[in-house]
């Protein structure tokens, strides 16, 4: 707030008196939102979250015509990290004790943030070369592989076998198509992204075990974005100010501001809000039930993709269905509390 030096005393007092009211209003809104999230059935929340998340992702994909995927994802990761930092405020005195204090702890937190950064980066590279629904399905190979390594029951083995069949079907039919070489780039990217999802799960568990997981996650994501910025910051900003050849509305009046604003909205709905909502969901269900409910994500992504003109083949639908079945098989027996 900028205040003139000679402002009237009465106005200054009124402004001071209004601050508690503003704080109370924010607290009231937060309470209403939490009440709604705690009353609505968890499955409906998961479905609604997936709809908004993949609608935002498809909007981001449309923006690839104005800004290359690697530069777009730099904004997404950056906005998400900054929003999380602003929300959690880990620098506060009452939260500093929960931050890493040893080199080993810092390595875990930074590795968690870097894995999220790479996961998002590879996902954007993948969806620029394949349909979003297919990318979302194949990416589940990451957490399924972690489940196989960590698990000892028949569910994990059967689940990864069914998922492998689904991925092979998706990859085989797509690679045989005329656009197979382009799909191969996306396939390599999404497999790397899926492996980074697996790394994030492993590192995230270690972070959660220390407590203050969201505070540490926000710091880790900021570290990941800083590392990403060493490579992408300058070209991303340059291509925002001077759009690439073939860009349309981004070259018009205030085009750069419109593009950055769009990517901010994408970051809010595709990354920030899911992180916030997941904290509520995971308090109300087990980790296994949460994972099973997330198995609808490929189906939702395919449906939203249809609305944006991404038409799957019959083989695509069968492959995605196999991955969904694999997730249900793998995690339906997990009764551990979510963290």
pLDDT (tens digit per residue) in 93-138: 888 888 888 999 999 999 999 999 999 999 999 999 999 999 999 9
pLDDT in the model for residue 29: 63
Whether 228 shows a pLDDT value over 50: the answer reads yes
pLDDT in the model for residue 14: 39
In the block, residue with structure tokens 């968890």: 42
pLDDT confidence bin for 157, thresholds 50/70/90? confident
- Which region among 187-196, 221-230, 248-257, 274-283 has the lowest average model confidence (pLDDT)? 274-283
Q: Which two tokens stand for residue 267?
A: 């970051």
State the Rg of the chain over Cα.
22
pLDDT in the model for residue 48: 92
Name residue 139's beta-bridge partners: none
Per-residue pLDDT, averaged over 146-166, amounts to 86
Other residues' Cβ atoms within 10 Å of the Cβ of residue 226? 16
pLDDT in the model for residue 156: 84
In the block, residue with structure tokens 């106005």: 11
Residue 91 DSSP SS3: coil
pLDDT in the model for residue 293: 84
In the block, residue with structure tokens 């070369």: 129
* Greatest Cα-to-Cα distance within the chain, rounded to the nearest angstrom: 76
**What distance in Å separates the CA atoms of residue 186 and residue 182, rounded to the nearest whole number?**
7
- What is the residue-averaged pLDDT of the chain? 86
Nearest CA to 142 out of 299, 297, 314 is that of 297
Chain segment 179-222, per-residue pLDDT in tens: 888 999 999 999 999 999 999 988 888 887 777 788 899 999 99
Q: What share of the chain is helix, strand, coil (3-state, %, to 5)?
A: 80, 0, 20
CB-facing half-sphere around the CA of 75: CA atoms within 13 A = 26
**What distance in Å separates the CA atoms of residue 120 and residue 279, rounded to the nearest whole number?**
20
pLDDT in the model for residue 336: 59
Name residue 286's beta-bridge partners: 337
Per-residue pLDDT, averaged over 268-280, amounts to 88
Name residue 337's beta-bridge partners: 286
Per-residue pLDDT, averaged over 308-318, amounts to 94
**What distance in Å separates the CA atoms of residue 73 and residue 67, rounded to the nearest whole number?**
10
pLDDT confidence bin for 146, thresholds 50/70/90? confident
Q: Is 197 exposed, middle or buried (0-12, 13-18, 19+ CB in 10 A)?
A: buried
Q: CA dist 76 to 89, 183, 248, Å?
A: 20, 23, 21
End-to-end CA distance of the chain: 39
pLDDT in the model for residue 282: 74
Q: At what angle do helices 69-88 and 42-63 cross, to 10 degrees?
A: 140
**7 or 205, which is more confident:** 205
| Cβ-count burial 148-174 (b if 16+ within 10 Å, e if not) | beebeeebbeebbebbbbbbebbbebb
Q: Write the DSSP string, 307-338.
A: HTT----HHHHHHHHHHHHHHHHHHTT--PBP
For residue 270, give the DSSP letter: I
**What distance in Å separates the CA atoms of residue 283 and residue 274, rounded to the nearest whole number?**
14
């Amino acid at each position: 707030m900028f205040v003139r030096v000679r402002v009237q005393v009465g106005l200054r007092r009124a402004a001071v008196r209004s601050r508690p009211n503003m704080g109370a209003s924010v607290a009231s809104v937060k309470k209403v939102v939490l009440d709604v999230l705690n009353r609505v059935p968890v499955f409906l929340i998961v479905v609604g979250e997936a709809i908004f998340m993949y609608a935002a992702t498809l909007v981001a994909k449309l923006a690839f015509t104005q800004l290359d995927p690697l530069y777009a994802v730099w904004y997404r990761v950056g906005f998400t990290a900054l929003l999380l930092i602003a929300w959690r405020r880990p620098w506060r005195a009452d939260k500093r004790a929960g931050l890493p204090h040893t080199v080993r702890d810092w390595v875990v937190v930074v590795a968690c943030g870097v894995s999220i950064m790479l996961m998002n980066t590879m996902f954007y590279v993948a969806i620029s070369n394949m349909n979003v629904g297919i990318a979302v399905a194949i990416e589940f190979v990451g957490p399924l592989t972690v489940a196989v390594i960590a698990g000892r029951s028949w569910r994990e083995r059967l689940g990864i076998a069914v998922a492998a069949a689904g991925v092979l079907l998706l990859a085989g039919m797509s690679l045989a198509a005329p656009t197979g070489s382009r799909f191969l780039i996306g396939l390599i990217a999404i497999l790397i992204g899926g492996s980074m999802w697996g790394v994030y799960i492993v590192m995230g568990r270690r972070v959660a075990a220390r407590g203050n997981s969201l505070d540490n996650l926000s710091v880790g994501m900021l570290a990941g974005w800083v590392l990403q910025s060493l490579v992408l910051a300058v070209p991303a900003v340059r291509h925002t100010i001077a759009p690439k050849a073939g860009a349309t509305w981004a070259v018009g009046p205030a085009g750069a501001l419109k593009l950055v604003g769009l990517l901010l909205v994408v970051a809010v709905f595709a990354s920030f809000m899911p992180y916030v909502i997941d904290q509520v969901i995971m308090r109300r269900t087990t980790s296994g039930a949460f994972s099973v409910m997330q198995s609808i994500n490929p189906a939702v992504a395919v449906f939203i993709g249809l609305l944006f003109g991404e038409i799957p083949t019959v083989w695509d639908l069968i492959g995605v269905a196999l991955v969904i079945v694999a997730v249900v098989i793998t995690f339906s027996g997990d009764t551990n509390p979510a963290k």
